[in-house]
């Protein structure tokens, strides 16, 4: 989605059209299962109000300050989990030829 948005922004840049990628975290809505508004969950109205303030300022945004801070904190955890998954898949592929079929000596 991010690549598509960048391409679209470049295509329409001369015509004055603003294309912005918004990657929110949890917003209390029917789509997200209506979690209650809490410290880490924004209401739709509050989220949209803050997100609209970023139009024309940045081509990519989390939509609000709270989601930006959360994404900064979650990014290292996500990167580590991807790294661990890749390492596990590599070890699995390296060990696969050494495994004996079940029931054979």
DSSP classification of residue 67: H
Structure tokens at 47: 């989220």
> What is the residue-level pLDDT of the chain in tens, covering all 105 positions?
889 998 998 999 899 898 999 988 888 988 777 778 888 888 989 999 999 999 888 888 999 989 899 989 888 888 899 899 999 999 988 888 877 766 565
Q: Distances in Å between the alpha carbon of 38 and those of 33, 41, 43, 96?
A: 14, 5, 9, 47
Contact at 8 Å (CB) between 3 and 59? no
The answer to pTM > 0.85 is no
Q: Give the 3-state secondary structure of residue 34.
A: coil
């Amino acid at each position: 989605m991010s690549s598509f948005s960048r391409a679209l922004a470049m295509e329409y840049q001369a015509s004055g059209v603003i294309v912005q990628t918004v990657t929110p975290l949890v917003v209390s809505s029917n789509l997200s299962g209506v979690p209650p508004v809490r410290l880490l969950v924004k209401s739709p109205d509050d989220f949209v109000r803050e997100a609209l303030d970023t139009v024309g300022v940045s081509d990519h945004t989390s939509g609000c300050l709270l989601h930006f801070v959360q994404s900064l904190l979650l990014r290292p955890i996500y990167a580590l989990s991807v790294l661990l998954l890749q390492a596990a898949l590599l070890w699995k592929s390296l060990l696969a030829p050494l495994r004996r079929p079940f029931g054979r000596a």
